[in-house]
Amino acid sequence: MEQKTFQLNDIVEMKKPHPCGANRWKVIRMGMDIRIKCVGCGHSVMIPRREFAKKMKKVLETSQE
C-alpha cells in the first residue's frame, strides 16, 4: 500500500461521501488525530490518523502555502 501524503488545508476525497452528498473535505487540523471539515455543509469530524489514512481515497487539491 502506497503512503498517502496530505497536509494542512488540502482538499481530500474520502471513500464514502458525507450524508449531505458532498465528498470534498478540507484538512483543518493535524496531529495524532486529523480534523476534516465537509466543504458542502461545514460539518467537521475528528478521525485518528491511522483510520484517516485507510479511509482517504485521494487528494483533490493541495494547499498553496
**pLDDT average per 10 residues of sequence, the chain (65 residues):** 78 93 94 94 94 92 79
Sign of CA pseudo-dihedral 48, 49, 53, 56? positive
Instruction: Report in angstroms the alpha-carbon separations of 20 from 31, 48, 51, 56.
Output: 26, 22, 21, 18
Q: Residue 3 has what pLDDT?
A: 65
Q: Residue 1 has what pLDDT?
A: 47
Q: Residue 65 has what pLDDT?
A: 63
Q: Residue 2 has what pLDDT?
A: 56
Q: Residue 4 has what pLDDT?
A: 73
Residue 14 pairs in a beta bridge with 56
Using alpha carbons, select from 8, 2, 4 the residue that is nearest to residue 62. 8
